[in-house]
Amino acid sequence: KQEVTQIPAALSVPEGENLVLNCSFTDSAIYNLQWFRQDPGKGLTSLLLIQSSQREQTSGRLNASLDKSSGRSTLYIAASQPGDSATYLCAVASETSGSRLTFGEGTQLTVNP
């Protein structure tokens, strides 16, 4: 059974800092991995999707990497801003679960002005 872990559970940084959020998964037989952002009381916004054949994806100040063999992904946020404050969730679609996503519990990010 796929399990997804995100470390740290919470992170507080000053504005302008570059930061890395971590995601690990136990079953490397994945189709892809998605990173989401969730603001308090809101739905999930898809940030990046990395297919299992890819090593990284970039969107603006965000860069996500995938090391399938070691069961790890990182989300790099450059030059963080207070508007980046949110909970970041990673989710994997495993070969054994079809389109079902297995979510981590998220990293709550606070960027202080």
Partner 1 sequence: DAMVIQNPRYQVTQFGKPVTLSCSQTLNHNVMYWYQQKSSQAPKLLFHYYDKDFNNEADTPDNFQSRRPNTSFCFLDIRSPGLGDAAMYLCATSRDRGPVRNEQFFGPGTRLTVL
Cis preceding linkage at 14, omega within 30:
no
Using rule CB under 8 A, residue 106 touches partner 1:
yes
Asked if 51 is part of the footprint of partner 1 (rule: CB under 8 A), the reply reads yes
Candidate list 60, 69, 99, 113; residue touching partner 1; CB under 8 A: 99
Q: Indicate the SS3 state at residue 44.
A: strand
CB of 71 to partner 1, least distance (A): 17
CA angle (103, 70, 57) in 5-degree steps? 65
Task: Rule CB under 8 A: say whether 64 interacts with partner 1.
Answer: no
**Rounded to the nearest whole angstrom, what is the least distance from the CB of residue 44 to partner 1 in the complex?**
4
- Other C-beta atoms closer than 10 Å to the C-beta of 78 total 12
State whether residue 97 is helix, strand or coil: coil
Window contacting partner 1 (CB under 8 A); options: 13-21, 40-48, 65-73, 78-86: 40-48
Question: Is residue 89 near partner 1 by the rule CB under 8 A?
Answer: yes
Q: Provide the token pair at 74.
A: 């990182």
Contact status: 95 vs partner 1 (CB under 8 A)? yes
